[in-house]
Amino acid sequence: MPASDTPPPQPQRRRTHRWRRATLAALITAAVVAPLSAAARPQIPAPPPATLAPLTATTLDAAYKANRTNAAQASRMAAAHGDHQRAAADRAMATPSRHLLAYDGRGEGQATEVFGDLATATRIAVLVPGSDTSLDTYDRFRATAIALQDRLAREAPQGTRTAVVAWLGYTTPGTVSTTVLTTDRADQAAPRLREFITEVRHIAGRKAGISLLCHSYGTVVCARAAPGLDVQDIALVGSPGTGADTATALHTRARVWAARGSDDWVAEVPHVRADLFGWTVGFGTDPVSPAFGARVFAAGPGGHSDYFRPGSVSLANLTRIVLGDTKEVTRA
């Protein structure tokens, strides 16, 4: 075949066009299928949350007992419904050793659990989880709180009393869903988080230091709740972005920290915001970038779920932040 008859190589722009079409198709499919799938999912029956007196240091034990009773009732209802996985999760929550400040077994479920003595604590960490956290997956979130409280208890100086609160106070988005791409869930959660921090402050008193430790999509929730929030520190780990361009734009007097493990896949997420079919998707500036302006600390080689792993660099630094040992925090 003469050289002039040889077909030219496939143009790069055609491959790029096919890639863009495939991406667009995937986004549209997710936008249509994910909401329909969620709507079709049967709801797990459970009683409404227990009616509680205003939370104070003197009403904590009564609140814990009422929420354990509620979890036990939810377990029985889930078992009668045939959902034995949820029944087991509810039943575990109802054990006498659990300190539940709030409990709601309906749907995906919500729970707020305390580790340590909240009424006497002088250093308190409130953990805010990211996507795919529900009552069915709660144990892994609980494990992060236990790991942190164990390290705090070991390293706290004499006279410092610590408590950790695992706050699953909102319906988290699914990792594979359109909701995880927008601030909608965070906008709904932020007022609840703000109200909860006010309750914690009322229980523990003015002298207690409160740190907000936020993971993944939970960093978007914390950013939305941040303006004027009565906390000393806000730590953002494994963040896809916060929806704010800079730490200053969070309008908080708290120290703003950020970290990302070297093996965290969230580093590959484009840190942009864009309008797509009338939605604003993405969360903007990377919180560990100089442009954001947070205090970036070392997280070591961990992945997206490793920030609270016992023995990790990130857990050591988060412990120092909670204890107020900010000069000892190792920087990235």
pTM of the model: 0.86
Contacts of 194 (CB under 8 A, 6+ apart): 225, 229
Residue 295: Cβ within 10 Å count: 17
Residues belonging to the chain: 332
CA neighbor of 283 nearest in space, from 233, 214, 331, 228: 214
Check residue 175 and give its pLDDT: 73
Angle between helices 218-225 and 184-204 (to 10 degrees): 70
Check residue 174 and give its pLDDT: 81
CB 166 within 8 A of CB 196: no
State pLDDT tens for residues 231-288: 999 999 999 999 999 999 999 999 999 999 999 999 988 776 556 555 555 678 999 9
CB 203 within 8 A of CB 52: no
Q: Pick out the chain residues at pLDDT < 70.
A: 1-42, 176-178, 180, 272-282
Check residue 275 and give its pLDDT: 60
Check residue 274 and give its pLDDT: 58
